[in-house]
Amino acid sequence: MTPQRFPPNWFQKARLKLRHLQLFAALDEHRNLHRAAASLNMSQPAASKLLGDLEETLGIELFDRHGRGIEPNWYGSLMIRHARMILSELQETGEELNALLAGHSGRVSVGTVMAPAVELVVPVISSLTREHPNLKIAVAVETSDVLAERVHQGVMDFAIGRLPGHFDPTAFEYQEISSEELCFICRAGNPLLQLGRPLTSADLSDATWILQPAGTLLRDRVEALFRAEGARPPHRVIESASPVISMAMVAETESITVFARALAQVFTPGGCYTIMPFHKRFSVEPYGIFWLKDRPLSPGARTVLSALRAASERKMRRLAEPGADTENHIGLANNHI
C-alpha cells in the first residue's frame, strides 16, 4: 500500500460510508472480525472486503491481523475515535429531531401587548422552560399594530393583541382572550391622593400626564373616558410610548400615567408608585391570540401556542364563574388600535 496525503474531501474519494463507521465501532468492541460482522448482520467475507477495500483506497492499513483476532493500529485507533464521535452525533441528531417533532425544542418568537405579558405570557413561559429547557422562546412587548405587522411578515410566530383595522382579518386565526383593564398610576406622595376619596375625571383634568402619542390605544381611551364624563381631556401631556420613561417621569414628578392594571400591580406594592383610587374601573376592547392561517407553525411554536391557549381558556372560565368581579367595568369601544 502506498501512503498518501489526504485532501479535505478524502472521505468522498474513499467513498466512506456509514457502514464503515459502524464496522469500526464494532471492531473496537469485539476485536474479532467474525463477531463484529455478526453484530452488524453481515457475513465475515463482506465485512473483510468492506474493510480491505477502504484500506486499499486510503493506502494504509488500519488494523493488525493476528491469530487472536484483529487490533487497531495508530491509524485505526484514530478512525475508531472519530467514527464513534460521528455515530454519537448522528444519534443526538435523531434525539433532537424527535424533540423538535414533539415541540420540546427549537426557537419560538412571541409578541404581546402589556397586560397579557404579565397575566399570561410570563407564567406560561416560565412553566414551559422548566418542562422543556431546550425550547428557546423570545418574547417582545409592543403595540398591536407592530405585532400584527411582524406576524404578517413572518418575523413572529404569533402574538397576543388586537388586530388593526387595516389588516385583512381573514388572513389570521384569532382567539379572543380577555379585555384589558386600565388604571391610573402616580407616585405615592402625589397631592391628589390627599383628597381622601375616589377621584373623578374632573379631579385629574388639569394634572400633568405622561401618555402615549395621540391616536394610540391608551391615549384614545383616556380621552374618551374624560369626554364621556363631561371633563376636559388631559391637556398638559408629555408624550412617550415607552413604559420605562413613563414610570421614571411619574417617580420624579407629580405626573400621572395610564397602565394595564395587571402590569401596574407588579410595580405598586411597597414601592414609590400607587394606583390612584378612581371612582370607576374601565377597560379597553378585548385582546386575543392571532397567527397567520396559511403559514404552518413549527412544533415548538405549536407547543407554546397550545399552552397559552389553554391558560387563556382557564382564565375565561374563571371570569365566567358566579361572583367573578365584573361589576363597574366599562369597555370603551373604538376602532383605533
Q: Give the pLDDT of residue 277.
A: 95
**Residue 297 and residue 208 share a domain:** no
Residue numbers of the domain that contains 29: 10-100
Half-sphere exposure for 237 (CA within 13 Å, toward CB): 16
User: Looking at the structure, do residues 146 and 227 belong to the same domain, yes or no?
Assistant: no
Q: Nearest 5°: CA angle at 267, between 178 and 156?
A: 50
Query: Per the domain annotation, does 331 fall within a domain?
Result: no
Residue 325 neighbours by CB distance under 10 Å:
9
Specify if 3 maps to a domain.
Answer: no
Could you say which DSSP state residue 242 is in? -
Same domain, yes or no, for 292 and 171? yes
Specify the pLDDT at position 324: 56
Residues 148 and 208 in one domain: no
Mark whether 172 and 311 lie in a shared domain.
yes
Predicted local distance difference test score (pLDDT) of residue 211: 94
Q: Which of 240, 267, 284 is the last residue of a domain?
A: 284
The residue from 100, 132, 159 where one domain ends is 100
Q: What is the pLDDT of residue 327?
A: 37
What is the reported pTM? 0.61
pLDDT score recorded for residue 329:
38
Could you give the CA distance from residue 306 to residue 287 in angstroms, rounded to a whole number? Answer: 17
Whole-number pLDDT of residue 334: 34
For residues 118 and 247, state if they share a domain.
no
pLDDT at position 297 is: 87
Alpha-carbon gap, residue 145 to 197, rounded angstroms: 37
Q: What is the C-alpha to C-alpha distance for residues 263 and 9, in angstroms, rounded to an integer?
A: 58
Query: What integer pLDDT is reported at residue 96 of this predicted model?
Result: 66
- Which residue, among 330, 324, 224, 228, has the nearest Cα to 285 in the 3D structure? 330
Residues 271 and 299 in one domain: no
Q: In terms of domains, do 171 and 297 share one?
A: yes
How far is 219 from 41, CA to CA, in rounded Å? 74
3-state DSSP assignment of residue 316? helix
What is the predicted pLDDT for the residue at 296? 86
Per-residue pLDDT of the chain (337 residues; tens, 9 = 90+): 555 677 778 788 788 888 989 998 998 888 988 898 999 999 999 989 988 888 888 888 998 888 778 888 988 898 898 888 888 888 777 766 776 666 666 788 999 988 788 888 989 999 988 888 888 889 998 888 889 999 988 889 999 998 888 888 899 999 988 878 899 999 998 999 999 999 999 999 999 999 988 888 889 999 999 999 999 999 999 999 888 899 899 999 999 999 888 888 887 776 789 999 999 999 888 889 999 998 888 888 888 999 998 888 887 777 667 665 543 333 333 323 2
Question: 117: domain CATH number?
Answer: 3.40.190.10
* Residue 162 resides in a domain: yes
